[in-house]
Chains A and B, each alone.
Chain A
Amino acid sequence: MAAVSLSPVQASLSPRLLSSHTPQSTPNLSFHSLSKPSIPFPSISLKLYNPIRPCSLIIAAAVKNLAETDLVAVPLTADEFSKKLPSKSGVYAVYDKNDDLQFIGISRNIGASVFSHLKSVPDLCSFVKFGVVDEPDRESLTQAWKSWMEEHIKTTGKVPPGNQSGNATWIRQPPKKKPDLRLTPGRHVQLTVPLEELIGKLVKENRVVAFIKGSRSAPLCGFSQRVIGILESQGIDYESVDVLDEEYNYGLRETLKKYSNWPTFPQIFVNGELIGGCDILTSMDEKGELAGLLKK
């Protein structure tokens, strides 16, 4: 018998952390699924000690309970997937061929998530149960997940193996982002080389450099954000420099405007040459010109 205390960590509710890239807290347990339309971690503390069942365990769920939900054989082709599993938000539980529950996850697209699990761990994905959550805000999804987790723990005394801490089988770790580059050792260190020269060196030594407002993991302006989005969606290896960093890039905004003769940010350089700002990058992306230019 297990007593459970489940509570999402407050910090993970801040809007920045809700963006799919930056779950910064390390969760004990995770329900973050492999597929892209997923939701970042709540952090959960689970204590498997003795049994006075607290009333707070009973959480009204938006979905049927786990026992009442039908077990569906996992289809093997993408075609069948779309017929049998909804591409809707909700909670799902994956079972292996012995009907042992392996993982409980939530997703913005149940079908896609299960499909990606099938791709990565086919041996563990024989059957699936799912519950569609009609109003898929973060809280209802978390609640649905909690109710299934609790039900399973209550009946078996065990956490599904895929949800145990340290088990990364079902979870895609967010890709590590490169740090933003810094132009100077610090605002109060006297530069021996003019800033223009440092800019020149930086853009010539790195194939693609994006001068943005904010960091690459948390851009502070919509245009910078779009630029990062385009570069990442193209899988481009690029360096970023935060022009708002007053400590390590002091004076960069004014100097860069003169260097490139371009009055606004973001600015994207390829092989030492300015290719433009957000509009130009967007337009090149739409015309499919980017791949060629950036992969040269």
Chain B
Amino acid sequence: MGSRGANMLISRANRMKTKLQSALEATTIEIEDVSHQHAGHAAVKTNNVETHFNLKIVSPKFNGHTLLKRHRMVYDALADELQSGLHALSIVAKTPQEEEAASRR
């Protein structure tokens, strides 16, 4: 089987994880597929699998960047996925320091 075929078999969540890991050197990545919650959604007429995800990502690269910029960094890393049917992503993007501060509370 060619690499393209193999690629199709790996879940989108795994591909996303790999891409985010290499682009953003993330220390934590949690991805949850919530597509089922959006089945039948107005914009997801066909092929409503692997369209909606919740993502939590912790990366030192977010340091000094606004939320807007951090989200853009995530979207940039996932550009291919967004082109190929990834429809919505709920993003929590933190720096390791912020994550640590949150967990201490």
A contact set with B: CB distance below 8 Å: 213-214, 220-223, 244, 261-264, 274-280, 283-284
Q: Which residues of A contact B75 (CB under 8 A)?
A: 262-264
- The reply on B23 being an interface residue by CB < 8 A is no
Which among A223, A244, A276, A278 is the interface contact of B42 at CB below 8 angstroms?
A244
Task: Say yes or no: A264 contacts B67, CB within 8 Å.
Answer: no
- The reply on B8 being an interface residue by CB < 8 A is no
Task: Say yes or no: B89 contacts A213, CB within 8 Å.
Answer: no
A263 CA / B72 CA spacing, docked (Å): 9
In the complex, residue of chain A having the shortest beta-carbon distance to the beta carbon of B70: A280
- Least CB distance from B12 to A in Å reads 15
Which among A221, A274, A284 is the interface contact of B43 at CB below 8 angstroms?
A221
CB neighbors of A among B57-72 (8 A): 67-68, 71-72
A92 CA / B37 CA spacing, docked (Å): 39
B contact set with A: CB distance below 8 Å: 37-38, 41-43, 67-68, 71-72, 75, 79, 82, 87-92
Task: Say yes or no: A280 contacts B71, CB within 8 Å.
Answer: yes
Task: Say yes or no: A279 contacts B43, CB within 8 Å.
Answer: no
In the complex, residue of chain B having the shortest beta-carbon distance to the beta carbon of A275: B68
A264 CA / B37 CA spacing, docked (Å): 17
- Least CB distance from B39 to A in Å reads 13
Task: Say yes or no: B43 contacts A223, CB within 8 Å.
Answer: no
A279 CA / B43 CA spacing, docked (Å): 19
Q: Which residues of B contact A264 (CB under 8 A)?
A: 75, 82, 87-89
Task: Say yes or no: A221 contacts B68, CB within 8 Å.
Answer: no
Q: Which residues of B contact A277 (CB under 8 A)?
A: 71
Task: Say yes or no: B92 contacts A279, CB within 8 Å.
Answer: yes
Task: Say yes or no: A280 contacts B42, CB within 8 Å.
Answer: no
- Select the residue from B42, B67, B72, B90 with max chain A CB neighbours within 10 A: B67
In the complex, residue of chain B having the shortest beta-carbon distance to the beta carbon of A261: B72
Q: Given A220-B41, A223-B88, A280-B67, 14 other A-B contacts at CB below 8 A?
A: A213-B42, A214-B42, A220-B43, A221-B43, A222-B37, A244-B42, A261-B72, A262-B71, A264-B89, A276-B67, A276-B71, A278-B90, A279-B90, A279-B92
Interface residue SS majority, chain A: mixed
Task: Say yes or no: A262 contacts B72, CB within 8 Å.
Answer: yes
A275 CA / B89 CA spacing, docked (Å): 16
In the complex, residue of chain A having the shortest beta-carbon distance to the beta carbon of B68: A276
Q: Which residues of B contact A262 (CB under 8 A)?
A: 71-72, 75
Q: Which 10 A-B pairs have the closest CB atoms?
A: A220-B42, A263-B82, A280-B67, A276-B68, A264-B88, A263-B75, A279-B91, A279-B90, A244-B42, A276-B67
With A263-B75, A264-B89, A279-B90 known as contacts, the answer to whether A221 contacts B41 (CB < 8 A) is yes
Q: Which residues of A contact B42 (CB under 8 A)?
A: 213-214, 220-221, 244
Q: Which residues of A contact B92 (CB under 8 A)?
A: 279
- Least CB distance from B32 to A in Å reads 14
A277 CA / B68 CA spacing, docked (Å): 9
With A223-B88, A261-B72, A279-B92 known as contacts, the answer to whether A213 contacts B67 (CB < 8 A) is no
Q: Which residues of A contact B79 (CB under 8 A)?
A: 263
In the complex, residue of chain A having the shortest beta-carbon distance to the beta carbon of B93: A279
Q: Which residues of B contact A278 (CB under 8 A)?
A: 90
Q: Which residues of B contact A221 (CB under 8 A)?
A: 38, 41-43
In the complex, residue of chain B having the shortest beta-carbon distance to the beta carbon of A243: B43
- Least CB distance from B25 to A in Å reads 21
A276 CA / B67 CA spacing, docked (Å): 8
Q: Which residues of A contact B68 (CB under 8 A)?
A: 274-276, 280
Q: Which residues of A contact B89 (CB under 8 A)?
A: 264
Q: Which residues of A contact B91 (CB under 8 A)?
A: 279
Q: Which residues of A contact B82 (CB under 8 A)?
A: 263-264
